[in-house]
Amino acid sequence: MTTYVWDYRAEYEAERLDLLDAVETVFNSGQLVLGASVRGFETEFAAYHGAGYCVGVDNGTNAIKLGLQALGVGPGDEVITVSNTAAPTVVAIDGTGATPVFVDVRADDFLMDTSQVAAAITERTKCLLPVHLYGQCVDMAPLKELADQHGLSILEDCAQAHGARQGDTIAGTTGEVAAFSFYPTKVLGAYGDGGATITSDESVAKRLQRLRYYGMDERYYTLETPAHNSRLDEMQAEILRRKLGRLDTYLAGRWAVAQRYEEGLAGTGLELPRTVPGNSHVYYVYVVRHPRRDDIIERLKAYDIQLNISYPWPVHTMTGFAHLGYAAGSLPVTEALATEIFSLPMYPSLSEDLQDKVIHAVREVLASL
Ligand SMILES: *Cc1c(COP(=O)(O)O)cnc(C)c1O
């Protein structure tokens, strides 16, 4: 039987009655779009972060896109981010008409190298977009300082970092806006698509509410374009409300899995994830690194263990982003990583038996190299 890199079915089995009750609650509610469940989830998700407002949207990509638009980002503007991210980060920037500008990542933790940001700022720069990649926060203090100095806004891509912390600060509360995805694999996942933005700026929140709803206000009157239909679905919102109450339990489950890998894979020569001091890592994915990555993956095929690569292609090397003009070699750390990283199975309900199977297989393969 295949061991999957992510599998929600054991969790569903455990939560089935509650989740089916969530569906039943919405079906009986009499309001199937933007009703009590979306409002309830928004209130509770904002409160979890100590943020003023949450605006639910249809997915994480649109959370970023609408978040940028609510901050006034559009054609002619530049947004500084990383190429070592999921493509949707950059698709969302591109979708506003703004130009993504990349800095490289650090070789030890694969996060935005904030020391490169100052040199990337031009008079067209409008926003800094750090990605809290794999589940831990980018160093926010230097970004905040630069943003204040240059009058820029910050949008945090928190699609992989629900509940992650940097010191006492929870991911998503340093910038003006944070964008979350509830794609099923995420640390807080729906049973389908979903996303949200949080902010403590009332006028930005109001703008987000309009942007997801044809640009309209309460009067059914469109105030601004370009606008969207990007509503969070009522049923996903009710499921997310139930699961938000268990988020801290999911995080504990992920920490236990990470701890077991750390002990089981010590001394094998495989480079394990490094947590930056002061960060609390939520391990959305468990990314390891080895110069013979491709040989390892090939040999692991015999053990029927599914592995992922997050991500095999740096965004700036993709055909769809060739127009940005980044030549091969322009982001050397990002490009080197893409050939050496892979992800081991990671989800809170991963059983110890299955995990031990993975650890045993990886140890055997590494010893055989
Ligand atoms: C998943 C993800 C997104 C996009 O979220 P969707 O809900 O799939 O649109 C954006 N950024 C990052 C870093 C992600 O991991």
Domains of the chain (ranges; CATH) run 9-103+110-244 (3.40.640.10), 247-368 (3.90.1150.10)
> Which ligand 1 atom minimizes the distance to the CA of 185?
1
Residue range 272-295: mean pLDDT, rounded:
98
Residue 1 has a pLDDT of 81
What pLDDT band is residue 319 in, cutting at 50, 70 and 90? very high
Pocket probe for ligand 1: among 183, 193, 343, the residue whose CB has the most ligand atoms within 8 Å is 183
Span 261-277, pLDDT tens digits: 999 999 999 999 999 99
What pLDDT band is residue 237 in, cutting at 50, 70 and 90? very high
CA of 63 to the centre of ligand 1 (A): 9
Residue range 195-220: mean pLDDT, rounded:
97
Its pTM stands at: 0.98
Is 131 within 8 Å of 149 (Cβ atoms)? no
Alpha-carbon dihedral sign for residues 87, 170, 183, 136: positive
Residue 119 has a pLDDT of 98
Span 80-114, pLDDT tens digits: 999 999 999 999 999 999 999 999 999 999 999 99
Residue range 141-146: mean pLDDT, rounded:
98
Give the C-alpha separation, 5 to 286, whole Å: 10
Residue 273 has a pLDDT of 98
Pocket probe for ligand 1: among 6, 61, 133, the residue whose CB has the most ligand atoms within 8 Å is 61
CA of 219 to the centre of ligand 1 (A): 32
In this structure, which amino acid lies at residue 366?
Answer: L
Q: Which residues line ligand 1 (CB under 6 A)?
A: 59-61, 85-86, 88-89, 131, 157, 159-160, 181, 183, 193, 195
Radius of gyration of the chain (CA): 21
Residue 348 has a pLDDT of 97
Active site residues: 186
Residue 7 has a pLDDT of 96
Give the C-alpha separation, 64 to 59, whole Å: 9
| DSSP line for 157-226 | E-TT-TT-EETTEETTSSSSEEEEE--TTSSS--SS--EEEEES-HHHHHHHHHHTBTTB-TTS-B--SS
Is 68 within 8 Å of 98 (Cβ atoms)? yes
17 three-class SS:
helix
- By C-alpha distance, which of 245, 192, 181 is closest to 18? 245
